[in-house]
Amino acid sequence: MEKDSTFVSDNFEYPKFTEDMVKTHTILIPSMLDIHMALFEGVLKQAGYKVEVCKNQGPAVVEEGLKYVHNDTCYPALLVIGQFIDNLNHRDDLDKIVLLITQTGGGCRASNYIHLLRKALIKAGYGYIPVVSLNASNLEKDSGFKLTFKLIRKVAAAITYGDALMYLRNKTRSYEKNKGDVDNLTYGFVNELLAEFDKGKGISNHQIKKNINKIAKAFDNLDLDLSKAKPKVGIVGEIYIKYASLGNNHLEDFLVSQNAEVMVPGLFGFILYSLYNGIYDNLIYGRSKKSALINKALIWYIRRLEKIMIDAIGKTKITPMKYFSHTKDLSEGVLDHGVKMGEGWLLTAEMMELVEIGYSNVICAQPFGCLPNHICGKGVMKKIKSIHPDANIIAIDYDPSATKVNQENRIKLMLAIAREKIEEGEKASL
């Protein structure tokens, strides 16, 4: 079906993704975490869905987003919508396409993504394409996309593997002697894990523990050059800009090209943050006790998976990540746990953790005008620096008008300061 701007009107009743479409329609998903998305794509295909993660990037994505999303609207929304429409513009199977988008359900503008997307689709002539909302907030429930217990277990396992692989990749990729070794190992494990999933394996905690131990040992045996200290840089910020290369102009790759070691907190951190907020809603605001109890049970389950990762990496020469319970407590005295819009207190806690574990150079990647980032990121930098005087924190704005050259020049300045500190430390130790 070709696009036709006369096909629908502004009062059009949005089409739904029905169970009958599961076998006939392809679900498009916006890109974000490369390792995780590769695992999610495979898991959803094994559940019977036809899935495709968008890979299109470049100026055309931003241009399409600017056509249908106001420039003052959240930059991640502009990019996601632009990526979808740019993808649709180059397809000939439009009558067999469904779009999937996640929603947090909080006070952040991200909760309005689905409405912005549907309006954009109508304006672009694609109003007949269904949009699926993937959320845990009961925002939309009448969809042919079903989260079964089996699928949720696979997704939980995929997040565990994704976080472990992302962490180990970041700890090693800047030191590899043979270029490509780390990525070959990383994506080799992705394919191996998907093959296990397809056989119904790799999902139980016992199997996850066995696989994570194997993964950690393989990364520990990589041929690395650890002879020279490198600037250690942590990345925090709004979840999409923090994780999506499309959103942050391939920030991780740029830092590696500048001979720096990069660290990005895992996805479980954001999930646990969201679950703890349900508990704080009950404690601080008197909201649903039932939801708080369910969240406590989910936290208990995720903490078991978290322990598997930390124990496995702890058996190697690689320093493991911290428990999220520790990360959570680091925000105390800096920002209250009642502050939970967008990334809220998590943004503050992750900056504190990164500085504590040696990543004293921190980039707060934020969409221009993102209130949570400006308050919980920029707003607490002075306080964090008073606690950690060596902290070298900068906020980088990302929006359609921000130039990549200016962003990279500011990052290079931060790295120059970091290298000076390394040299001063080396001289002092002589």
Domains in the chain: ranges and CATH: 19-144 (3.40.50), 229-266+321-428 (3.40.50.11900)
pLDDT of residue 342: 82
Lowest-pLDDT choice from 257-266, 281-290, 325-334: 281-290
Lowest-pLDDT choice from 66-75, 158-167, 318-327: 66-75
Alpha-carbon span 165 to 329, nearest angstrom: 25
Closest CA to 260 of 342, 401, 358: 358
pLDDT of residue 373: 79
Q: pLDDT digits over 115-169, tens only?
A: 889 999 999 999 999 998 876 555 565 567 787 888 999 999 999 999 999 999 9
pLDDT of residue 368: 79
Q: Is the pLDDT of residue 295 over 60?
A: yes
Helix axes 34-46, 149-172, angle to 10 degrees: 150
Choice between 282 and 372, residue whose per-residue pLDDT is larger? 282
Q: Could you tell me if 236 and 242 are in contact, meaning their C-beta atoms sit under 8 angstroms apart?
A: yes
Alpha-carbon span 283 to 271, nearest angstrom: 19
Q: How much is the average pLDDT of 329-347? A: 91
CA angle 105, 106, 107 (to 5 degrees): 130
pLDDT of residue 362: 97
pLDDT of residue 145: 79
Q: pLDDT digits over 391-405, tens only?
A: 999 999 999 888 899
Q: Is the pLDDT of residue 179 over 70?
A: yes
Q: Could you tell me if 39 and 193 are in contact, meaning their C-beta atoms sit under 8 angstroms apart?
A: yes
Q: Is the dihedral of CA 308, 309, 314, 320 positive or negative?
A: negative
Alpha-carbon span 82 to 120, nearest angstrom: 9
pLDDT of residue 105: 60
Share of the chain above pLDDT 90, in %: 73
**Strands of the sheet with 97-103, listed across from one edge:** 50-53, 26-29, 97-103, 131-135
Q: How much is the average pLDDT of 199-215? A: 96
Give Cβ neighbours of residue 92 (< 8 Å, ≥ 6 apart): none
Q: What pTM value is reported for the model?
A: 0.92
Average pLDDT of the chain is 90
pLDDT of residue 139: 54
Cα–Cα separations (whole angstroms), residue 94 to 60, 98, 129, 195: 19, 9, 8, 30
Confidence of residue 46 (pLDDT cuts 50, 70, 90): very high
pLDDT of residue 370: 79
Q: Is the pLDDT of residue 182 over 80?
A: yes
Query: Which tokens belong to 263?
Result: 């660290």
Q: Is the pLDDT of residue 8 over 60?
A: no
pLDDT of residue 7: 47
CA angle 313, 318, 323 (to 5 degrees): 50
Q: How much is the average pLDDT of 310-317? A: 97
Q: Is the pLDDT of residue 203 over 60?
A: yes
pLDDT of residue 146: 80
Q: Is the pLDDT of residue 306 over 80?
A: yes
Query: Which tokens belong to 361?
Result: 């150079």
